Structure 1
């Protein structure tokens, strides 16, 4: 039994070695191709902190919640779908004590589709006294499909490169022997905007401030690279 097992292992090793030798012995050309694109984010995540301390305890968190919902609905935002409480385990995201009073706070996450809509949200919330708002990050919703399309284009580009390399040698490119998805890069993390916090735009720009601070976000870069080996005929 042990002898049979050893024979099978040796045969397997020999087969793998033979396959590798056949591959190495074949004339081939190896190419690397990179393709990228820039896309406007269609998902912008905004965090909204409702804190009683922001209004010097004149408004409760419950009152601020009603103002928040009314403001967003005025902008035709589906609060049932696009607005969520970040802490689902309790009614209040956090609270702290000040003297004998409990200062309550809730943190919400809002998704909007573009920078213009984000700007309108920031401006409208500021107008009702909700100014503790932060743009957290940006995303592109169909990123997986985009990456697949880019990989297909990269393979096409690799074949074109191989053909150009073989042409001066009066040779042709045959079938692909090996394809490797070397690298996939997305600057979605770079699309984050943690430093954009809007607090009291009217105080900064005066009573004339009616426009949002920004109207566009950095585009998200998607980049892929493939390595392909082609038979050189």
Structure 2
């Protein structure tokens, strides 16, 4: 008998505790959003320079140092710091050893250039001997004020959710209470840039491509935030 009473007490206590945990508050669930598009102002471009033979004559080689000096001069003329251009990988240094072993070896070097405007990059690469440019490629891009912009959009989305909840509740003659729950939905989009440039062709075909201009389709970064919220109804 005592065991039955104990079990009944435990069951009654459990039901009472469960009832206390049930949230009986009136609530409203709404979402708010905010979005914008920005043009990237931090762009990293890979550039590969390579020696070549003039008229296929081994005695008329355009040295890598000549191409490199052209690139550095163009960067300075564009008003960029020397730090904007860096060696992209350590293998670029191995050409010096190879040249000693084989005088006919055609050296190549890879660089990474940081620019804020692709038009400025076109001016820079246009000042380099096109036959010496093996390839160019956009590696990555970003926006310098991205973090502050994200914060601003999240706040706007949250404010939009609150405003929506307020007019819906007030339409029923009630008042909006404090927020109970907030959930963030991130819809950031960094589309892959489409960069079509004659410099991406092999250096050997430079003559055939002479006179063509670069075509750039650089899409903007789209930031979109949705705030799912739950408010109490007073």
Calculate the TM-score normalised by the size of structure 2: 0.74
8 Å Cα contact 1:186/1:222 also seen in 2: yes
Deviation at 1:131, TM superposition (A): 5.6
Q: Tell me if 1:31 matches 2:4.
A: no
Deviation at 1:77, TM superposition (A): 1.6
> What residue number does 1:21 align with?
21
Partners in 2 of 1:32 and 1:84 — Cα distance? 46
CA separation of 1:221 and 1:116: change in aligned 2, threshold 3 A: same
Consecutive unaligned residues of structure 1, counting only runs of 5 or more, are 1-13
Deviation at 1:217, TM superposition (A): 2.4
Partners in 2 of 1:20 and 1:152 — Cα distance? 34
Partners in 2 of 1:20 and 1:91 — Cα distance? 72
> What residue number does 2:159 align with?
156
CA separation of 1:60 and 1:159: change in aligned 2, threshold 3 A: same
> What residue number does 1:137 align with?
140
CA separation of 1:32 and 1:69: change in aligned 2, threshold 3 A: same
> What residue number does 2:186 align with?
184
8 Å Cα contact 2:197/2:214 also seen in 1: no
How many residues end up aligned between the 2 structures? 209
Deviation at 1:218, TM superposition (A): 1.4
> What residue number does 1:231 align with?
232
Consecutive unaligned residues of structure 2, counting only runs of 5 or more, are 1-13
Partners in 2 of 1:20 and 1:196 — Cα distance? 68
Deviations 1:165-187 (A, max 9, x none): 21221111111111122x22322
When structure 1 is superposed on structure 2, of 58-67 and 158-167 the one drifting more is 58-67
> What residue number does 1:72 align with?
75
- How large is the RMSD of aligned CA atoms in angstroms? 3.4
CA separation of 1:130 and 1:196: change in aligned 2, threshold 3 A: closer
Q: Tell me if 1:52 matches 2:51.
A: yes
> What residue number does 1:4 align with?
none
Larger Rg: 2
For 1:125, what is the secondary structure of its paired residue? coil
When structure 1 is superposed on structure 2, of 49-58 and 38-47 the one drifting more is 49-58
For 1:69, what is the secondary structure of its paired residue? helix
Q: Tell me if 1:109 matches 2:108.
A: no
